[in-house]
Structures are given as structure tokens and as C-alpha cells.
Amino acid sequence: MTQTTQQTPPYIPADTMEVLLSHEQIHKRIAEIGAQITKDYAGESIVLVGVLKGAAIFLSDLARQIKVDATFDFVAVSSYGKGTRSSGAVKLIKDLDNSIEGKNIIIVEDILDTGLTLNFLRKLMLQHHPKTMRIATFLDKPSRRIQQIEADYVCFSIPNHFVIGYGMDYAERYRNVDDVRLMPEDPHA
């Protein structure tokens, strides 16, 4: 009997890929965004809501540049292929651990692409009646937008390249790469 198994693509070493954003550029920009958030929320408390898995690295670095009272929570949404997701079918697979009612929340994402994920999460979070809600994204690809949404804090706006590193994956790999690099072939092309 033949079993169908999903093929794992061959590993392409990240250091053979072109760097789009260097470690130094990333950390300089995150320090600026962290300072802006610190200023905007002076005297307040905030909940940073990370969207697993991609945002984990950005949240970790951003949080350490924020100098106000902050706590973390995490959500996860279903990760369909982008083709499937453009149907609008985003599902929550891990909910918040704690109530956000009456709290200042910042949803933290690694990338804002079609906007479907953040539109879904924005509506969901608003049902919990936070005091305020903003969005911070490491990358923004405005040319890919299907549903209108803007982030309040954007580290970098980039053209429609398929990128990996700094939390972003291809077939779950490369999240640990310490800069943002261009995949040699765009898997979405």
C-alpha cells in the first residue's frame, strides 16, 4: 500500500540568501518604535498580544525596548496556505489566557500582508472591550492588501518579496535567522 507523505523541501542555507534588512537596521528601528510606544503610553499599563508563531521574536525584542508596565499574552490563528486564506477563512486556534477588558492592548505581528489575519483579530479583540487597541507590525506589505487595515506602529514597509528570518518562516524553517532575507524563489509566485 502506498502512503502519501508531505515532501519537505530541501534546505537552502540562509547565508546564501540576500539580506533585505540587517540585524543592525532591525534593532535600531525597534528601539525607535519601543521609544515611541513608551512615550505614547506614559503612565499607563499595556498588554502586548503576540500572534504565534511569527511574532514571537519581534515581541521579545520590542518588549525590551518598552519602558512602561507591560504584560504579554499570545493568540494563534490557523495557518492556511495564502491561497486558502484569501477566502477569508481565518480561525482562532489559541485564545487569550487573560481578560483584556478595560486594558490597553497592542496586537504584535511579524507581518501585515493581505490584512485578513489582523482584520479577524481586531474584530475578535474588540468583542472583549479593551480600553484601547493598537497594532504593531514588524513588516508591512501594503501592495498585498485584500482587506483594508493599517498598523499604528510599522517597523518597515517592504515591496512584495517573500522574506524569511526574524520570526518569519518558509515551511517552518528560518525563524531563527537574525536578519531578514529574500527567498531566492517566491513560493507564492
Which stretches of the chain bind ligand PRP, using CB under 6 A? Answer: 51, 53-54, 79, 85, 109-118, 169
Closer CB to ligand PRP, residue 35 or residue 93?
Answer: 93
Under a CB-based contact definition with an 8 Å cutoff, are residues 129 and 104 in contact? no
Closer CB to ligand PRP, residue 41 or residue 62?
Answer: 62
Give the nearest distance from C-beta 58 to ligand PRP in angstroms.
10
Give the nearest distance from C-beta 69 to ligand PRP in angstroms.
26
Active-site residue, selected from the candidate residues 73, 95, 113, 178: 113
113 is catalytic: yes
Q: Helices 56-63 and 23-40: crossing angle, nearest 10°? A: 60
Give the nearest distance from C-beta 86 to ligand PRP in angstroms.
8
Q: What is the dihedral of CA 185, 182, 149, 128, to 10 degrees?
A: 100
Ranked by CB distance to ligand PRP, the top (closest) residue is: 54
CB 179: neighbour CB atoms within 10 A?
Answer: 18
Tally of helices (H runs) and strands (E runs) in the chain: 4, 9
Active site amino acids? 113
